Structure 1
């Protein structure tokens, strides 16, 4: 798993929380960051699921 992807997840989450607190949870920027975080989480899940499946094939 890429440390870069994990770092992007952390940074985006922090930005989303900060935006939500400062501008509101229905603010366009907050929603955009939330959608970006969703995409990154989906990518992370895809990679971790495939990594697990690759280990299963080793048996």
Structure 2
């Protein structure tokens, strides 16, 4: 099972990668958009964990 710390590290790594790709290939490039979608999924997963913890 993935912990919140694991998610945090993955989110930060993916965010940094997306920024690098966005700066080099453009914000509308297919690769940047795919990374953004993956980042959204991880953030939503993390928010779901916060909701469970605080409930």
Q: What's the TM-score, normalizing by structure 2?
A: 0.91
User: Structure 2 matches for 1:1-59, cutoff 5 A?
Assistant: 1-53=3-55
Answer with 1 or 2: which has the greater Rg. Answer: 1
CA RMSD of aligned residues (A): 0.8
Unpaired segments of 5 or more residues in structure 2? none
5+ residue gaps, structure 1, are 54-59
Question: Once superposed, which parts of structure 1, at least 4 consecutive aligned residues long, lie more than 3 Å away?
Answer: none
Q: How many residues align?
A: 53
- Work out which structure has the larger RCO, using CA pairs closer than 8 Å and 6 or more positions apart in sequence: 2
Q: What TM-score results when the alignment is normalised by the length of structure 1? A: 0.85
